[in-house]
Each structure stands twice: as C-alpha cells, then as structure tokens.
Structure 1
Amino acid sequence: MSLVSMNEILPAARKAGRAIGAFNAANYETAVAIIKAAEAEKSPVILQLYSRLFGNGKAEALGGLLIRLAEKCSQPVAVHMDHGESIEQVRNALSWGYTSVMLDGSRLPFAENVAVTSEAVALAHAVGASAEGEIGHVAMGDATALSDVEETCRFAAATKVDALAVSIGTAHGYYKQTPKLDLELCRQIGERLPGLPLVLHGGTGTPLEDVQKAITLGITKINIATEFQHTFLKAVQADLEAANGNFIPVDKFMDAPIERCAEHLRKLIRAFALR
C-alpha cells in the first residue's frame, strides 16, 4: 500500500473497467483532503501537482509533504507531476521522489513529441517511476484538437508510455457550453490499445454520465483540478463569512474546508469506480 507508481494501480483498474481519480493538490489542506477521501473510500488515488509549481520552488517543498502523506496512507497513492513542460522538470520531479511524471509534448510536432516523451519515459523507468504522455491536445476553454487513432497507436508503441492522455472532446477549466465527448473515438482507441490505461484530462464540468461511458471504453485515469480547487476556495470563503470577522486559529479553521473537500472527492471516487 502507501506510496506507489501509477503502474501499480492503473493496469488493474483498466482490466477491471474502472478509473482512478487524479486530483491536483496545491497546499497541505487540499493534499490531506485527497488522502482522507482515498482512505474513506478504500480506494487508490493519484495525488498530483500542477507543472507550474515545478518552476517556482513549491513542488520541491510540497513534494516531501505529499510523499509523507502517501507513505502513511492505508491506500495506494501515486505522487504525480501533471503536465510537465520540460525534461528538466521531469528530472527534478524524479529526484525529489515523485513516483510518476507526465511530459506534455502535445503542442509539438509528432516526431518531437515522441522524442521528448520517450526520454521522459526512460528517465522514469530508470528509477522505477511511471510516465504519462499526451497525443492530441486538451486545451483551455472549448478549443481542443482531437486525437487521431492511427497516430495515437504509433505514439504509444514508440514511446512505451505507462498511461496515455487522449483528446476526445474535453478541455481544461470550466466550459462555456456543455462538451460533447467523442465516445466513438474513445472506443476505437481503447480497442486498439487494450492494455494501456487511457487518461481523461479536463474532467471538471464534463457530464458524469459521459465520463462513466468513457471509463467503460478504456479511460482509466480522470484528472480533476479546477473543480476541486474551486470547492476548496468556496468552502474557505463561506467559513470566513460565517466567522463574521472573529478570529479562529488557522489550523482549526481549515478543518471544516478539508472535510467538505474530502466529501466532494469521495463522491467522485465512487463515480469513477462505477459504484
């Protein structure tokens, strides 16, 4: 149990036809909420950090905390770098003890994406970590570039990634209008790559019914960032307003937002497990 790579949880989930939640932490409170939800649901979980935190010193400092929380958790927890932007970030994450990394080369030409992702995979595998890549491009807002089936299969074979993010109609952040997932595309990719865990980025605001259909077609890792972070901020704001200017010690004040965030994640974990 405790600290693992994604290779120790995703292949079994793909075989069982369920998905694992991958939630973006940003501080102690959001990280603890993820751990609490995993333990309450007796479920593996992926605790991940935004790549921007790897460029400002925060990922190194938070890494020790995340790893310690994972090691003490009764359930398997992978500590993952989300949307890594460079090989330098990959090297840093692995040297700080992260058990999984993503190199996002989806904006690059195909050959360059293959080359840089393959390098990241080799670095991760050398230390027993797992690596995720992306083909097609999941953008911010509503603009996105769908994955091509043949290109996706060539990319998976060339890079040997452990998990592959595909673009089937989702986008990062909140949507301006309800997204329409290309479930037929998902089905085709899933059938061509039956042993490879597929990743859905842009889980926030995507209709849960569509997410669950995608899980039955091979999606095995669901990324949730904006929705989770916003849940935390709204909980803090509501409690600050309820305090009406009265002083509450910060550690005690944060207990309630942590619990509400954990409860929100518990519902998602159950949904992703198709329970």
Structure 2
Amino acid sequence: MPLVSGLDVITECGERGLVAGAFNTTNLETTMGIVAAIDRVKVPTFIQVAPTNVALSGYAYIYDMVARRLEDTDVPVALHLDHGKNLQAVEDALAADFTSIMIDASEEPYDENVRISAIARGLTPATLALEAELGSIGGKEDDHGPEIESTTNPAQVEDFVRAVNPDMLAVSVGNVHGYSPTAAIDFDLLAQVRDASAVPLVVHGGSGLPAEQLSRLAEFNVVKVNVASDLRNAMIRTFGESFNANPNEVSLIRVSTEAVTAIADVVERRIRTLNPSVA
C-alpha cells in the first residue's frame, strides 16, 4: 500500500478506538522490523524520523526506504517528521513527500510557539496531518534534550489549538523522552488537557512509560504514542550481544537479520500494549 496521510491514520484509529504507535527509524533494519510488526497486528501506524537522524541519510532516502518496504503491506501507514524544530525541517520533509509533519517550537515563549506553529500549518497542505507541541517534553533522545522543560498548561490549550489549527497536539504530562525511572503520566493533568483540546493528543516518550499507563491512553483521546529508544536499544543490544559472544563475528547479514527480528518483537509488543483489544 502506498503511504497515506497522517490524517487517514488518525481518522481510522479514531473510528476503531485505537492508538497509533509512532516508531522512529534511522536505517533499513529498523524499518524492516517496524513493517514486519505492522503486518502482524494490522493497526494503522506512523513511521517517523527526526532531523537529528536524517543527518545520516537525508529525507529522500528515508522516504524511498519506507515507501519500498510498504509496497506489499495492506495497513495504512504515514511517514511522519518527528520534532521538526524549525520551518526548514518542515519544508525539507514536505519536499521529500512526507505525509505527516510535526512542528516543535515548544521551547519558545508561548506567543512565538503559536507564531511558528501557525506558519508550519500554512506550509503543510490541508490533506496532510500537522502535529504541534504545547509544553516542552523533557528527557533526551539521541543525546539531544530540551533546554527548557515544562508541562502543558490546560488553560492555554484551547487558545493554542484555535490559533494554530493542528490535527494533533503533543503534550507534556509527565512523559519523558528516552528512559527515565521517574517517567509517569499525570492522568489528572492529561484529563484536563483532553477536555480543553478540540483535537486528539500525542504522547511522546512511550519507551519509558509502564505498560499499565500506556494501555489507558485511549481513554484520554490520545491517538498517537511515540516509541524510539526501545527500537534503538533492541538493535544495539543485538549487535553488542553478538560481538560479546564472538569478537571475531563477520556475518553482518546474520546479525542484521537478528536485529530485524528483535525490533519487530518490540514494535509488536508496544502496539498490543497500546491496544489491549487487538487480538
């Protein structure tokens, strides 16, 4: 199936009462693992990449790699720009035919976040999905973390959504990028944000949240949950364990195939955790 708009993913998930996983890729093995899991569980999904990872290959390569792997898949999948920190990233992803966009100006003062996010809305065709962020999510991803961390202020949500007109709103409600022993959703705060938002919500930092919290997110109009660190750790761990077992290992294809399997298993578990009703 060709890539679909992020709007199609969130619409189908909303109709079916599902939460879409959003899984970060960087290379072929990660992409293959993600797609293998999608084929197993048949839940609409986002595959995404952040500008920090695009530095390895470029946006067009990511598009070609993901689109090719999805040719024989019958599940709706969108290719999403994760944490576009500036308008140039938005323009570059759109030029490479990404089908879903995130603008993240959450570290800016509120008015500047609104201004930049609204420009991104103007750049993003109405047929594609736009995610914006209100409240700056803490933690680190690929050794990059925000200079400013702040929780989402429910009193700002209605005005922000009206001014920017995003299709999804990323929120900071106790979730943290990467692995953190203190990461925990503040469900009272999440409920306040949900009640104030006219659009569905996005939770980043899915790798570090306990399963019992992830399985509740659909109750709070969360339509997308980002998972990155779990996948990267699965790949790095596979190669590390292989090297430790045999420092003279030279079968790259065997270890790479094992990494694909490990990543697929992680993705499948996360999708099923987010959607307990999925058989």
Normalising by structure 1, report the TM-score: 0.91
Alignment of 1:24-63 (within 5 A): 24-55=24-55, 57-63=57-63
The equivalent position to 2:232 in structure 1, one of 201, 226, 229, is 229
Which letter does structure 1 place at the counterpart of 2:42?
K
Per-residue deviation at 1:252?
3.6
Q: State which drifts further: 13-22 or 229-238.
A: 13-22
Q: Is the 8 A contact 1:81 1:93 kept in 2?
A: yes
Q: Is the 8 A contact 2:59 2:92 kept in 1?
A: no
Q: Is the 8 A contact 2:214 2:273 kept in 1?
A: no
The equivalent position to 2:197 in structure 1, one of 189, 193, 200, is 193
Percent identical residues? 28
Match of 2:170 in 1: 165
Relative distance call for 1:14 and 1:266 in structure 2 (3 A) is same
Match of 1:267 in 2: 269
The equivalent position to 1:154 in structure 2, one of 131, 155, 159, is 159
Which letter does structure 2 place at the counterpart of 1:158?
A
In the comparison of the two structures, how many residue pairs are matched? 271
Cα distance in structure 2, aligned partners of 1:139 and 1:247: 39
Per-residue deviation at 1:166?
0.7
Relative distance call for 1:122 and 1:69 in structure 2 (3 A) is farther
Which letter does structure 2 place at the counterpart of 1:265?
V
Which letter does structure 1 place at the counterpart of 2:168?
A
The equivalent position to 1:219 in structure 2, one of 209, 212, 222, is 222
Q: Is the 8 A contact 1:18 1:216 kept in 2?
A: no
Counterpart secondary structure, 1:80: strand
What are the superposed Cα offsets for residues 180-212 of structure 1, whole Å, 9 maximum, x if unpaired? 321011112222335x22000111221121222
Q: State which drifts further: 184-193 or 109-118.
A: 184-193
Relative distance call for 1:33 and 1:56 in structure 2 (3 A) is closer
Which letter does structure 2 place at the counterpart of 1:174?
Y
Alignment of 1:63-212 (within 5 A): 63-125=63-125, 128-140=127-139, 144-175=149-180, 177-193=181-197, 196-212=199-215
Per-residue deviation at 1:267?
0.9
Q: Is the 8 A contact 2:204 2:227 kept in 1?
A: yes
Which letter does structure 2 place at the counterpart of 1:231?
A
Q: Is the 8 A contact 1:153 1:193 kept in 2?
A: yes
Counterpart secondary structure, 1:145: coil
Q: Is the 8 A contact 2:157 2:196 kept in 1?
A: no
Counterpart secondary structure, 1:133: strand
Cα distance in structure 2, aligned partners of 1:52 and 1:61: 14
Normalising by structure 2, report the TM-score: 0.90
CA RMSD of aligned residues (A): 2.0
Which letter does structure 2 place at the counterpart of 1:200?
V
Q: Is the 8 A contact 2:238 2:255 kept in 1?
A: no
Q: Is the 8 A contact 2:23 2:226 kept in 1?
A: yes
Per-residue deviation at 1:75?
0.9
Counterpart secondary structure, 1:254: helix
Per-residue deviation at 1:244?
4.7
What are the superposed Cα offsets for residues 86-108 of structure 1, whole Å, 9 maximum, x if unpaired? 11111110111110111101011
Q: Is the 8 A contact 1:32 1:258 kept in 2?
A: yes
